[in-house]
Structure formats: structure tokens, C-alpha cells
Chains A and B, each alone.
Chain A
Amino acid sequence: MNPLRRFLRTPEALAGAVILAALLTMALAAPLLFPGDPQAIAGPALLPPFQDWSLPLGTDRLGRDVLAELFHGARTSLAVGLAAAAAALVIGAVIGTLAGFAGGLVDEVLMRITDAFQTVPSFLLALAFVSVVGPSLGVVVVAIALGAWTGPARVARAEVLSIRERDFVAGARVIGMHPLEIAFREILPNALPPVLALSSVIVAAAILTEAALSFLGLGDPNRVTWGGMIAEGRTVLRTAPFLSIVPGLALVLTVLGVYLAGEGVVETTAVRRSLS
């Protein structure tokens, strides 16, 4: 059976895949379905949902189309979540490989730096970084990655430590390969699978961190974010709780989709490993 079909056989993985596919469609279709600025005024303020079919989910405190904001928010959430997770995985894999392969003082220094990053609450670090550098999409991505690379670094290091004693590494040494080339061309690719297994957890955490940052007003001010929508709705929480609850539900579904799909991938690969 091919891996994709095996992956889709578990109900959890199937649900995760469906949710993620729907989100991706939402994100990609947002500029087509809702062209123009989602932050522009579209109708009367605080229109309740299911009243006017041109504005199905109603409008917020400033009269903006909630459904359009929801679609455009999916773009930001997915983009930031994926970019930050990718950055964290790359930084972590490189630092973990260097530490594990070099050993000695380099290892000691790099691991103490990793300790330091794990000691500081990652959300406070992100908060400080964004508030010092200023909020923009790129800065938010870096701020989240700064707090997320330590896990991958530790896993990569542990993996490299076990791989570097294998025969093919000794072989590469014998033919006179440069140590850096051995580290990144021979060892790193073999150390990657367990590092990549962390990606669903990291993507999920990145999406939640981005939401929390924008909730506190530290997201990119020129983009619609679900966290920002929740913060905006909070000012009318008593009269229109709907405005905070809907973007939150979108967040929960997204993160749940990422977890479910991630578990499905881990299960599929585990089955494959035990079969071979």
C-alpha cells in the first residue's frame, strides 16, 4: 500500500488532512473571493451574523466584513506558522549538527546557549524582540523562531552523536572530505527524520504564539490576524461575544488539524519502520 493511502486510513489523520486542506484553500482563495482591503469598511458596524447574505458573518465594531477578515487571517496564521517553524527547524538542525559533530568546547558553548534560550520563557523573548525591533511580519517570524529552535537542536545533536561513529562517516574521513562537508552532507541528512517529526508541534506552537502576540497588539498592523480579531472583539465582549469567539474557533481548528495530521505522519512512518 502506498504511504499516502496508509496515512489517510486512520480517521484522525484523515480529519487533520481535511482541515488543513480546507484552510489552505481558504488562505489561497482569500484574495479571489474577497478582493480589496479586508480592513476596509463594508457595512454598518456590529451587524449580527446571518442577517445580511452579502455579509454572512456580520461586521465588527468598525463595520468590517468578518468573513473576509477570517479568510485573510488564515493567510497570516499559516504563513507565519510555517515560516517560523521552518526557520526554527533549520537553525536547530544546523546548531545541533555543529554541536554534536564538533564536540568539545564548541559543543559545550552551543549547548549552554541552548540552555539559556530554554531558560527564558519563549513568549517573553518574542515579546521583547518584537517590541525592540518593531512589529512586522518578518520580525514576528524571527521572534517566534528564536524561542522554538532549541527542541530541534537537542534532537539533532543526540542523533548526530550516534551517527558520527558509523562506518560511512569514517569512510568519508578516509577519502579526505572536509569536516564541514561531512557534517552537513553526510550526517545532517541522516539525522533529519526525528527532527522533522517535531515539525507539527512546532508549527502548532508557532501559530498559537503568533495569535497571542497579535492579541497583545504586537502583530503586523497592516495585516488581518485572528489574534488581532479576538483582541478587537474583546472590546465589545458583552454585547457581541461572537466577534471574539469565531476567530478563536478558527485557531483551535487550525492547530487541531496540524496536530492530527502530524500524529498521522508519525504513525505512518512508525508503521513503515516496523514493517521494514
Chain B
Amino acid sequence: MTRALALIRRRLVGSVFVLLIVVIGTFLLLEAAPGDAVDAYIVSTGGDAGMIELLRHSWGLDQSELTRLANYLWALLHLDLGQSVTFSRPIRDVILERLPTTLILMGSATALSFGLGSALGIYAGARPGSFRDRFLSIGSLALYAVPGFWLGLVLIVIFAVGLRWLPIGGIESIASARTGLDRAADIASHLVLPVSALGFIYLALYLRMMRAGMAEAWRQDFVLAARARGLSRRRIVLAHVARNALLPLVTMLGLQSAQMLGGSVVIESVFAVPGLGRLAQEAVAARDTPLLLGIILVSAVLVIFINLLVDIAYALLDPRVGASEAGA
């Protein structure tokens, strides 16, 4: 446990610097955007030059850039992301409202891609060079070349328009007044297509990593030793070869989280899923830059958090990790 704690402490210190850089970056982008919050406000309410002057002063927009950066940081420390012009509500509230949907989408897609991907990877890597190995390798490469949003559209054409098995979009049936398990099943049926579109692309990645890791592991001495001990092939594949190839996949899980958040923007737009990604697209369409940058900040925090979880999982799986820090 001390190992994990030491790791968390070191990671948190590093994350503070990384977050600071992200905040400065978003501030610079906000500055580069044409117009400021007052312009956006005036467009929706109307007002004369005197009022613009007054608003700029009261919102602190007439101060120097450094002061404004300090104000921005100070507000962020109080978890205040500012006001969204399009929604006329605090950005934090808008984001928090959309976040759970995206987390469910990402979580399910990750479970699908990791579970099925590593299983197929084990199947392919159990017999390197066999027909099924080559078939799955080429197939996964082809799958990896598919744009997620296009796969989503193809799935809609087949399963929602053609076969009418699944709903075409949204997160639940409108005004259905369902409750409890009934409602959960309704949401699940809406999530099947978006989760598949998002998950299948990354499935290829895990499959290929698993397969490559296993090809590497087959050449190791401990596999020879396991063979010499007369273990069954099944046992060697699962307990020795696949187990060693699994660790890099866990690291990939953290690295992919940022990619998947980005991918969910297009997937949520295709399926009209009201999550964080769709919110980002709405922010772009409405030219609501503060909202968009708020989403970026929240995403960065989310990615840091996921990577922290992955590091802890890794430390628990691999006794070598962090051993030196715990001793120090």
C-alpha cells in the first residue's frame, strides 16, 4: 500500500504543473478568440457603448493580461469556470450535467474494446503465424483504419434504418415515463450503437498489442521452462504468455483515455447523445469559446485522474513498480 501511496503523491505533484500549463494554454486560446465575454453578452441582450464600458470594468476585462490570467486562475481554484452565454448558466453546471453520459459511453466502450480486443488477441497470439493469426491481424488493421463516425453511420444504416432493431439516436425514448429497470434497458438499447462505433476502433488496437506482446513473450526463457515442466499448452498460453503481454495493455488503457474522449465528440454528434462531446460540438457551433475551453480543462482533469487509476492498478499488478520509492 505504501508503494501505491508514494506513487500517487509523486503523480499528483507532477499533475499540478501539467494542469497549470493546460490552463495557461486555454487562457491564451481564449485571448486569441475574436471578441470577449462582453461582446457575446451584448449580442444576446443589446446595449450601448456606455454599458459595454461598464460591463468590461465590472467583469475585470479592462485589466492587463497578467491580472486577467491571475483572476482566471483564482476563479478556477474555486471551481468557477465562468458563465456560458449560450446556456445562460454557469459552465461548471452545464458540464457536470453532461459528464455522466459521456462516462457511461466511454466506460462501456473501453470495456468492450479491452475485453474483446485482448480475448481475440490471446486467440490470435496463442498460435503465432497460423491462419487465424494472420486473418485477425489483417482484419484488425482494416478495422483500425475505419473512421469512428463513419462506422457509426454505417451501423445506423444497417441496424436502425434497415433492420429497425435499435433506436437511431438519443439517450432514451422521449416522454416514455419509464422508470427503474425499464428505463435502464431503454438507455442501454440506445447505447448499443454508439458504444460499438466507439469501442470497435480501439478493439483493433488492444488486439494488435496483445498479439505483438504474446509473440514477444513466446521467445522468453520462462516459456521454455514452463514447457520443460510439462505444463499444458492452455496453461502456458493463459498463465505465462498472455499474462506477461497484458501489462502494456493496462498502460495503453490510460493513454487511450484522451483519444477516446476526443473520439466521443464525433460519435456523440452522430448519435445525438447528450454528453460532453456533443456539448463541445454545440459550443463550437454557437462560438461559445469559454464553454469549449471549460470542456477541455475538465477533459484534462479526467485524463489525469484515469491515468492515476491506471498507475495504481499497474502498481498492484506488477510488484516491481514503485518499489524503489517505497524503500526511500
- A residues lining the B interface (CB < 8 Å): 12, 112-113, 115-116, 118-125, 127-129, 131-133, 204, 208, 211-212, 215-218, 227, 230, 234, 237-238, 241, 244-245, 248, 251-256, 259-260, 263
Let me know if A244 and B262 touch, CB within 8 A. Answer: no
Q: Give residues of chain B (44-91) contacting chain A, Cβ–Cβ below 8 Å.
A: none
Instruction: Other than A127-B281, A204-B145, A252-B146, give 13 A-B pairs with Cβ distance below 8 A.
Output: A119-B22, A120-B22, A120-B300, A121-B262, A122-B262, A123-B266, A124-B262, A216-B266, A216-B281, A241-B153, A248-B154, A252-B147, A254-B145
User: What are 13 A-B contacts with C-beta separation under 8 Å?
Assistant: A112-B17, A112-B21, A116-B18, A121-B261, A121-B299, A123-B263, A124-B295, A128-B26, A128-B29, A234-B153, A245-B153, A248-B154, A259-B144
Interface residues of B (CB under 8 A from A): 14, 17-19, 21-22, 25-26, 29, 32-33, 138, 141-142, 144-150, 153-154, 156-157, 161, 255, 258-259, 261-263, 265-266, 269, 280-281, 284-285, 287, 289, 292-293, 295-296, 299-300, 303-304
Nearest opposing residue in chain B for A238, CB measure:
B161
| Contact call B22/A131, Cβ cutoff below 8 A | no
A244-B150, A252-B145 given; A132·B269 CB < 8 A: no
One of A12, A115, A245 near B138 (C-beta < 8 A): A12
| Contact residue among B141, B145, B161, B303 (Cβ-Cβ distance under 8 Å from A119) | B303
- In the complex, chain B residues whose CB is within 8 Å of the CB of A256: 141-142, 145
With contacts A116-B22, A123-B262, A132-B29 taken as known, whether A211 is within 8 angstroms of B153 at the C-beta atoms is no
Structural contact, B32 and A133, CB atoms closer than 8 A: yes
Contact across chains for A212 and B147 when beta carbons are under 8 A apart: yes
> Who on chain B is nearest to A215 by CB?
B149
A263-B149 Cα distance, complex, nearest whole Å: 25
Q: Which residues of B contact A129 (CB under 8 A)?
A: 29
On whether the beta carbons of B289 and A120 are closer than 8 Å, the reply is no
Assess whether B21 is in contact with A113, with CB atoms less than 8 Å apart. Answer: yes
A120 and B258 in contact (CB under 8 A), knowing A128-B292, A132-B32, A241-B157?
yes
Main secondary structure of the interface of A (DSSP, over half): helix
B145 touches A259 (CB 8 A): yes
- Given A124-B299, A128-B292, are A244 and B304 neighbors across the interface (CB < 8 Å)? no
Contact across chains for A122 and B280 when beta carbons are under 8 A apart? no
Contact of A216 with B145 at beta-carbon distance under 8 Å, contacts A131-B292, A132-B32, A238-B161 already known: no
The answer to whether A245 touches B263, judged by C-beta atoms less than 8 angstroms apart, is no
How many whole Å from B135's CB to the nearest CB in chain A? 13
| B280 and A127 form a contact (CB under 8 A) | yes
A127→B299 contact, CB < 8 A: no
Q: How far, in whole Å, are A234 and B259 apart by their CA atoms in the complex? A: 24
Given A112-B18, A125-B296: A248 in contact with B153 (beta carbons within 8 A): yes
Contact of A259 among B141, B289, B293 (CB under 8 A): B141
Q: CB < 8 Å: which of B145, B161, B296 contacts A124?
A: B296
Measured CB to CB, the closest approach of chain B to A121, in angstroms, equals 4
Distance (Å) between the CB of A217 and the closest chain B CB?
8
CB distance from B157 to the nearest CB of A (A): 4
Residues of A within 8 A of B265 (CB): 123-124, 127, 212, 216
Taking CB atoms, residues of chain A closer than 8 Å to B303 are 119-121
Return the contact of A230 from the options B149, B156, B299 (Cβ within 8 A): B149
Residues of B within 8 A of A212 (CB): 147-149, 265-266
Minimum distance in angstroms from B298 CB to a CB of chain A: 10
Q: Which residues of chain A have C-beta atoms less than 8 A from B21's C-beta?
A: 112-113, 115-116
Measured between alpha carbons, how far is A255 from B156 in the docked complex, in Å? 22
Q: What is the CA–CA distance of A230 and B147 in the complex, to the nearest angstrom?
A: 11
Most buried by A among B29, B258, B289, B303: B258
Question: Chain B residues with Cβ under 8 A from A127's Cβ?
Answer: 265, 280-281, 284, 292
B contact residues around A116 at 8 Å (CB): 18-19, 21-22, 25, 300
**A131 / chain B contacts, CB cutoff of 8 Å:** 284, 287, 289, 292
Minimum CB–CB distance for A128 against chain B, Å? 5
Q: How far is the CB of B275 from chain A (nearest CB, A)?
A: 13
